[in-house]
Structure formats: structure tokens, C-alpha cells
Amino acid sequence: MDTHVVIMAGGIGSRFWPMSTPDLPKQFVDILGTGKSLIQMTVDRFIPICLMTRFWVVTGERYVDLVKEQLPQIPEDHIIAEPEARSTAPCIAYACWKIRKKYPDANIVFTPADALVIDQKEFRRVIRAALEFTADQHRIVTVGIRPSRPETGYGYIAEGSAVEGSEICKVDSFREKPSFEVAQEYLRQGNYLWNAGIFVWNVDTITDELRRHVPDLAAKMDEIYEDLYTDAEKATVGRVFPTCEKISIDYAVMEKSECIYTIPADFGWSDLGTWGSLRSLLPQDAEGSAVVGNDVRMIDCKGCIVHAPDLGRVVVQGLEGYIVAQHGDRLLVCRLDHEQKITEYAKDGR
């Protein structure tokens, strides 16, 4: 099996300001204080599954040097630079057309760069099962996470009947981010999964499905195809890619295709999209506060997150349900229940 892993690393993580900025997005930051950035942790969890010569990263042009710096073991021509963000369908299409030109038998995992996985052994078991399922069949597998709470920040997958003799199920439908009441009902029904945004398919399957459902996008990729791996690639991509429709892979393919399956999983996953999600994953004190820093002292505080790894001593007194985050010359003090407004509060996010 010719396994490839494509890491999507083009986002700016604006809800994680001030730690994540357009110049240094969260996927390139050591959020957890482990000594490794999220993208480095993503590579680490896939190394037992995939050769380093089969890793790819899709990112914005401005982040290519960051990728080279943090992942020097990835071949330089496997760093795919988008001239501008056009959502996940053009990102995935560009990578798949490029992979197919050199590796026509590729079986591919697409993964975000900025998720967290706790149980890596179970994660790899799930990914291997999905890869075996898609290797020589016209099938797409999306990883679904068993929900632990009525979460309103994730899309959902409704799982259908199981494939005989397999843990993998057909997908009945995809659902947008729900209200809290609808999320409670999904949890009660028991057949709804969080959509982790991790996709597995062979290169023939995904290119065929893109041709069928978004032929205009496929035609633009065909225009780029002849110049891939040549000196003309950058100019051709710079001319053609920005004309692609800005559309997610969910709308482009997943909600239309008849060959979509899901593998329900429980390996301690989070998309680390907000300060609140980070707090829920870090160790908490008796009052429910979590900290990342060298010497953080919490006095009369409840349910807070403090993130100040660059500072010496930090003292926080008398706060309940707050984010306190410092990065460089930027400081955020904000209620956790206002975290969806951080992008607005920070405006240009510098």
C-alpha cells in the first residue's frame, strides 16, 4: 500500500489570539508547552503509518519557510503553497492532482495540522483500518468522533448501517453546527459523531469524485497538471488557483457522493479551536483552572485558563471564567463565554 499523509496547514487560528496571529498561526505554535508545535505533533502521530518521503503539507505561501524550519525532513517539493486561501476543496484538489502525477497508486490521509489526539495507539489503529478499507475500492472514509458532550462548535455525521464484518458504517448525512438543544438530541440518539475533518481515500477515488461533483474545479486542476514539478508550476498556480470557487470539501463532495463512509472513533480528539477547548484538555486545579507557564499562581480563581509560557512569575487573583493569555507584546484578558468574539475584539489580530 502506497500510503501518503497530507497535512492541511493554511489557517490562521484567529480565535487563539494573541498566541496565534497571521504571522505565526497556531499550527506552528507550542500551545501545550510540550516543546513541539501542533504540526510537529501531527507528523509524529503519523510516522508509524507513513514514510517521511510520503508526507505532504498544504499551506499558504507566507508559511512555506515556517514549514521548512519546523519539518525539515519533509521533501521540499512536498510543501504545496497556496497563493491564497480558497477553502478545503481547492486545497485538496491541488494536492491530489500533484500526488497522482508521481504516485498514481497513492492511498491518502488528509488531516488538519492543529488537532490534538490523546490516545495515539488507538488513533493509528483507526487510520490503518480506514486505509485498508479505501486502498483498492471506490470509497471515502471520514473519521467520526464519539461525542462526549452536546458540542455546538463541531459539525456532525449521522452514521448509518455498518458494513458487514466491519466497524465502518455508511454515512446517512452530514449536519451543520447545531444549537445546544439539537446537540443534546444528537447525543441522546447515539448515532451522531463529531466531524473531525480527517479524510481517507485513494487518489483515483477522490479525483473521480471531484470531476463528477465539481467539474469546473477539476478542469482548473487539469490546467495546472502539465506544469506540476516544473519551473512553471508557481506561475501557473498563481494564475489559476485564485480563480477556483471558494468551497469546502464537505459541500463539494462529501454531501453529494454516494461512496461516503465513516469510522466511529474514540481516541481523545479535540480540534483545539478555542481557548475553552484548550482549557478542557489541560490538567486543571481543584477550582477548574488550567495554566501553561513557568510560574503561574492562581489565587481565588475558578474555571480560568492562563497561557503565559514566555513570562516568569504570573499572579492572577479573583477571576472566574476568564482567559488570560500573553504572547510577545500582546495581552488578552477576556471572559471565556466571550471567546467567540476574540477575532472581533482583536480586529487585525497583529
**CATH fold of 2-142+196-262:** Spore Coat Polysaccharide Biosynthesis Protein SpsA; Chain A (3.90.550)
> In this model, does residue 348 exceed pLDDT 80?
no
Q: What is the pLDDT of residue 28?
A: 93
185 vs 182: CA distance, rounded Å: 5
> In this model, does residue 327 exceed pLDDT 70?
yes
Lowest mean pLDDT among 106-115, 135-144, 152-161: 152-161
268 vs 270: CA distance, rounded Å: 7
Phi, psi of 343 (to 5 degrees): -55, -45
Q: What is the pLDDT of residue 345?
A: 86
> In this model, does residue 73 exceed pLDDT 90?
yes
Q: What is the pLDDT of residue 128?
A: 96
What is the per-residue pLDDT across 18-48, written as a single tens digit (0 to 9) for each? 988 888 899 998 888 788 999 999 999 999 9
Which amino acid is it at 86?
A: R
Please report, for residues 48, 127, 320, the alpha-carbon distance to residue 136 in angstroms, rounded to integers and kept in the order given: 21, 16, 54
292 vs 274: CA distance, rounded Å: 15
What residue segments make up the domains of the chain, in order of their start? 2-142+196-262, 275-346
Q: What is the pLDDT of residue 274?
A: 84
Q: What is the pLDDT of residue 350?
A: 56
Q: Is the dihedral of CA 332, 335, 339, 343 positive or negative?
A: negative
Alpha helices (H) in the chain, listed in sequence order: 38-46, 64-70, 88-102, 120-134, 180-189, 203-213, 215-225, 233-240, 249, 275-281, 342-346
More confident residue, 282 or 211: 211
More confident residue, 118 or 6: 6
User: What is the pLDDT averaged over residues 229-234?
Assistant: 94
- Mean pLDDT, the chain, whole residue set: 92
Q: What is the pLDDT of residue 31?
A: 84
Record the pTM: 0.89
